Structure 1
Amino acid sequence: MRRSTPACTYDRSACIPFLGLLLLGQQAVAQGTSATGVLVQLFEWSYSDIALECETYLAQAGIVGVQISPPQEAIEDPAWWSRYQPVGFTKLVSRSGDQAALLDTVRRCQAVGVQVIADVVANHMAAPPAGGTGTGTAGTTFQNRTFADFAPTDFHHWNGSTAGNCGVDNFADRVNVQTCDFNGLPDLNTTSSVVQSKLSQYIGLLHSLGITAFRLDSALLMSASDIQGFMGTAEASLVYQEITLPPRCTIAPQEYLINGKIVLQDYAYSMFTAFKSGQLQGLQAQPYASDKLIVNIDSHDLQRQSPLTSLTYTDGKLYELANIFMLAYPYGQPLLMSSYSFSAFNQGPPSVPVHGADGSLSCGTDQPWVCEHRTPSYKVMINFRNHTSQALVTDWQILMGGAMVAFSRGSGFVAINTAGI
């Protein structure tokens, strides 16, 4: 239901002190736990490839958790974003595989000490194609605001009409952000007990497969209390919520700490600015509570922003150095990106598997899959991070006019030089 309420403005330019009461300075990072260890997002990988990667690389590299693409049934479309348009939550059939394949992957990854993290899309459902009726990846049909799991009344809608809703167009208005349709996607009324029950059942289904770690997509578009409502009974070892802060955003990220950690794009923005400009001196002055954050250099969304405000694999050595800093510096819980090469915004994943039947890999900047997480220096830095987990930063040095940063952690020493790149 569309409502109005006084706007609570939030100026992004003032984001530096917004967690002032929670600011903890440098945090020691414990070794080998999903609550603190290094994570990786294997974007659009198949379940069979993920299982093999857990067994042949992730565990040996010291990575403790792997974020998979959304496992629920989604709209049938080759574009990458189709994974983020749910059709239903009872059939776990996606481009990555079916429920049996997911269960096999969870068991195989857990057997080598790698936790599977499900990407959960709970804010909205799919928008139907121009013809009015769409089909999901498990064959389920749907129409505008009418799905097997949800009726039109389960969505936010205009007064007197369940056929449509307002659109998100004012981030200075909390109600507009959290009750209107974002990008034309039907906005679930996540305050409703019916909707919360259906979402809780979905989380329970994932948990029955052994998944206890979750990333919540588009968390800012739902209230923190609504998320608490459908996640509150979950036995979760790790929860992190995606928080995007557009200009004049009305919603403060610390509201979401009641549910777990948060992923703020501001970290990626700051790394982009520092490494692109060759001015690394500000990297020590991070504003947020370190133990409350998941940090990353890029993501599937950030890679496709225009203009780009994050580093990506196309930045080559500069991207590698930024990830090295993220792994070396004791701030937040790092999430590495692993993606595929693309030249168009809508481009979906490659049709070839990552792992060939002969043991070969389709990985590299000249291959269909980039596999950034396999960069040799990252494996070294994960080992560095784990072996200096109790050490704070000392001997901080800025050299060459800000282009080079060096620091110690215990018996380890790191020097990063962006000059000439």
Structure 2
Amino acid sequence: DAGKHMWPGDLRAIFGTLHDLNSAVFGSGRKPFIFQEVIDMGGEPISASEYTGIGRVTNFIFGVKLGQVFRNENKASNLHNWGEAWGTPNSNDVVVFIDNHDNQRGHGGGGGPLTHFEPRPYKLATAFMLAHPYGFTRLMSSYNFDRSNTDQGPPHNGDNINDVTINADLTCGNGWTCEHRWREIYNMVAFRNIVMGQNLQHWWDNGN
């Protein structure tokens, strides 16, 4: 979190002291997966490129641009060259997502991303993200909150946080949203796991 508030050289030194992962679990010589929150919407004094040699960086522009497409503010056909051609960092350098805990509340990164409050375009954008090979994808799992009170905490009863209840269709109840349990999304996770490492081929669109 807030990686851009630390000097890249300091982060490199800190990460350099990390041990390899447990070989009994992950195999020999495996390193921790590191990504850093670096909000770079373009033209900022601190660039994400300063951090990409250390670990992956968050790509906030990704969710904003997809949000514009799936809100019909831009043509889906323009996604034919989605990825680096849109001025985004190299696919191997980024963690991509539709929204996160900050920008779904209008904080950090902003730009009006899609959130679970717009379920139809949110599902479409997430499905596209999971179908496309660009970046390392991250899903959001939220709870419902009053959009006029962005500091509202998780669903609770008195001093206790509500348990997550699971509905018959595998979605969550009791105030929890759990986007990762939406059928359209978990099915696309399965799709991505199968096609991982493959290039995008045979793009087709109708010009819209």
**TM-based fold match above 0.5:** yes
Q: 1:255-276 CA distances to partner (integer Å, 9 max, x unpaired)?
A: 1122211112111111111211
Map 1:17-416 to 2 at 5 A.
217-235=1-19, 236-245=31-40, 248-276=43-71, 277=73, 279-283=75-79, 284-287=81-84, 288-305=89-106, 309-343=112-146, 344-351=149-156, 352-355=162-165, 363-364=172-173, 367-399=174-206, 401-402=207-208
Tell me how large the CA RMSD over aligned residues is. 2.3
Length, aligned pairs only:
181
CA distance, structure 2, for counterparts of residue 379 and residue 327 of structure 1: 10
Cα 1:342–1:308 shift into 2, 3 Å:
farther
CA contact (8 A) 2:64 2:111 kept: no
CA deviation after TM superposition for structure 1 residue 242, in Å = 0.6
CA deviation after TM superposition for structure 1 residue 219, in Å = 0.9
Cα 1:268–1:393 shift into 2, 3 Å:
same
Cα 1:353–1:308 shift into 2, 3 Å:
farther
Cα 1:281–1:248 shift into 2, 3 Å:
same
Cα 1:395–1:218 shift into 2, 3 Å:
same
Q: 1:215-260 CA distances to partner (integer Å, 9 max, x unpaired)?
A: xx11111111111122221134200001112564112211112221
Letter in 2 for 1:296: F
Letter in 2 for 1:279: K
CA distance, structure 2, for counterparts of residue 285 and residue 374 of structure 1: 26
Q: 1:334-367 CA distances to partner (integer Å, 9 max, x unpaired)?
A: 10000100011110111211148xx998825xx4
Q: 1:381-421 CA distances to partner (integer Å, 9 max, x unpaired)?
A: 1221122224211121122x42xxxxxxxxxxxxxxxxxxx
Determine what percentage of the aligned residue pairs are the same residue.
Answer: 32
CA distance, structure 2, for counterparts of residue 308 and residue 289 of structure 1: 21
CA contact (8 A) 2:130 2:192 kept: yes
CA distance, structure 1, for counterparts of residue 135 and residue 42 of structure 2: 24
CA distance, structure 1, for counterparts of residue 170 and residue 152 of structure 2: 21
CA deviation after TM superposition for structure 1 residue 293, in Å = 1.0
Letter in 2 for 1:282: N
Letter in 2 for 1:345: T
CA deviation after TM superposition for structure 1 residue 289, in Å = 0.9
Letter in 1 for 2:202: D
CA contact (8 A) 1:304 1:345 kept: yes
Cα 1:390–1:240 shift into 2, 3 Å:
closer
CA deviation after TM superposition for structure 1 residue 285, in Å = 2.9
Moved over 6 A (4+): 359-362
Structure with the largest fraction of strand: 1
SS of 1:263 mapped into structure 2: strand
Cα 1:282–1:221 shift into 2, 3 Å:
farther
Q: 1:86-105 CA distances to partner (integer Å, 9 max, x unpaired)?
A: xxxxxxxxxxxxxxxxxxxx
CA contact (8 A) 1:353 1:362 kept: no
Q: TM-score, normalised by structure 2?
A: 0.79
Letter in 2 for 1:223: W
CA distance, structure 2, for counterparts of residue 378 and residue 324 of structure 1: 6
**Structure 2 alignment gaps of length 5 or more:** 20-30, 157-161
CA contact (8 A) 2:179 2:185 kept: no
CA deviation after TM superposition for structure 1 residue 309, in Å = 1.5
Cα 1:245–1:374 shift into 2, 3 Å:
same
SS of 2:125 mapped into structure 1: helix
CA contact (8 A) 1:355 1:361 kept: no
CA distance, structure 2, for counterparts of residue 380 and residue 247 of structure 1: 33
CA distance, structure 1, for counterparts of residue 120 and residue 171 of structure 2: 20
Letter in 2 for 1:271: L
Q: TM-score, normalised by structure 1?
A: 0.40
**Structure 1 alignment gaps of length 5 or more:** 1-216, 403-421
CA contact (8 A) 2:41 2:60 kept: no
